[in-house]
Amino acid sequence: MSRKAKEVMLEPGQRAELEGLVRTHTTPKRMAERAQIVLWGAEGQTNVQIAKRLRTRVARISKWRTRFVKEGLEGLLDEPRSGQPCKYTEETERRILRKLDEPPPKGYAQWNGRLLGERTGIPDYQV
């Protein structure tokens, strides 16, 4: 037995904004689809009906309906992702800048990435 979908109740301003997102050609496709999911949900369509119309999984429809009910229009935005960790810290940057304040080694007119890497122990591709 399937669970009952979250009931979507729209305020007039929300409806207008969602319809604008669906109609505007500059709206990213995924955002327009999320807005459409909410609009169809507000019309009383089930998750299964909406999934068939969009040719997608019911779980996807459920996710966006639930997020809209909990968070409103903000819930339709992508959540921040962790991404790749920073390659160096502020301390690493300070070490490089301190070394740049010193004169370059004898025989060199100025610092370069390879020299800074050798002197600070930081890989030259990070310098």
pLDDT of residue 1: 45
pTM (two decimals): 0.63
Domain chopping of the chain, boundaries: 12-76, 90-120
pLDDT of residue 89: 83
pLDDT in tens, the chain (127 residues): 456 677 888 888 999 999 999 999 999 999 999 999 999 999 999 999 999 999 999 999 999 999 999 999 999 998 888 888 777 788 888 989 999 999 998 999 999 989 998 888 888 787 7
pLDDT of residue 9: 82
- The secondary structure of 11-40 as a DSSP string is -HHHHHHHHHHHH-TTS-HHHHHHHHHHHH
Cβ-count burial 34-48 (b if 16+ within 10 Å, e if not)? bbbbbbbbbeebebe
pLDDT of residue 3: 64
Neighbouring C-alpha atoms within 13 Å toward the C-beta of 116: 19
